[in-house]
Amino acid sequence: MKRLLIVVLLFALIPLSGCTSMISASASRGMADNLNSAILNQNDPETVRQGAPAYLIMIDSFIEGSPKDPKILMAGSRLYGAYTSAFIDDPERAKRLSEKSLKYAQAALCITMPSLCNSREMRFPEYQNALKGVTFLQVPALYDWGVAWAGWLQANNDDWDAIGDVPKIKATMEKVVSLNPTYENGGAYLYLGVLNSLIPPSMGGKPDEARAYFERAIEMSEGHNLMAKTVYAQYYARMMFDQELHDRLLNEVLEAEPEYPGLTLINVLAQEQAEQLLAESKEIF
């Protein structure tokens, strides 16, 4: 899921409006909105790469001041997860930072949905049963938990115990789409597409489901989120050895206009990744 979790950066700073201990709520909300807009519409990923660490330290300080505020905890989880998946290549750093993202998401989960607080220790049937109590209003915290869990899994994909969490992460995202399919422009569909592409059909995988999830993710953003097509090519088309689909999707990404309100940064990253994947096409197929 390299760079996949950058999708969570889209709303990473919005919850900072709750930091009233430093400035007024209205001023904080305005600052968060402006920062969010600036990041989303940035067409130079390197600027974000260099600037993000300062915000990581900032969010840590906010959480130290308000350790029971789920909005700030969710903001910390999102920012750490997005930065790790988009810019960190060192495996050990990725493990440390994704662990922090998961820690913050779990703290927020325990506050907003106590019945899911011990999600990682639950057996799968128990976890499925606990998910039944999640409501529409709890979708943001549940989605953030699923995203952080998926990011942690990616950073720890050499650990078989971590791989065992895949069914619960899938169940989490399935619950999100059942309650609010349009949340985060259908971001949960994108995760489900990837998760359902991890196992090839020869080993019992369900590629038709994966393809349907990717198509739904593209539909939810009306094709404006170019990362959906890039990840679709990377995970599904390569698994199925479908070069025609693979190259078509990536060429569509490269030919598209990346600048779109709220998606410019992710689209530029998607195009960078698409160019690399396309260059590898002849070696893969």
pLDDT band, residue 111 (cuts 50/70/90) = very high
More confident residue, 76 or 238: 238
For residue 6, CA distances in Å to 27, 82, 115, 262 come to 27, 5, 28, 13
Share of the chain above pLDDT 90, in %: 57
Tell me what the pLDDT averaged over the chain comes to.
Answer: 85
pLDDT band, residue 58 (cuts 50/70/90) = confident
Q: Is the pLDDT of residue 14 over 50?
A: no
Least confident of 96-100, 194-198, 208-212, 250-254: 194-198
Average pLDDT over residues 19-34: 42
Each residue's pLDDT tens digit, 233-275: 999 999 999 999 999 999 999 999 999 887 888 899 999 999 9
Q: How far apart are CA 280 and CA 285, in angstroms?
A: 9
Q: Is the pLDDT of residue 1 over 60?
A: no
From 98, 231, 88, select the one nearest 155 (Cα to Cα): 98
pLDDT band, residue 30 (cuts 50/70/90) = very low
Q: How far apart are CA 205 and CA 181, in angstroms?
A: 23
Q: Is the pLDDT of residue 170 over 90?
A: yes
pLDDT band, residue 35 (cuts 50/70/90) = low
Q: Is the pLDDT of residue 15 over 50?
A: no
Q: At 200, which helix (H) or strand (E)?
A: none
Residues 6+ apart with CB under 8 A from 36: 11, 12, 13, 14
Helix, strand and coil content of the chain, in percent to the nearest 5, comes to 75, 0, 25
Return the pLDDT at 52.
Answer: 80
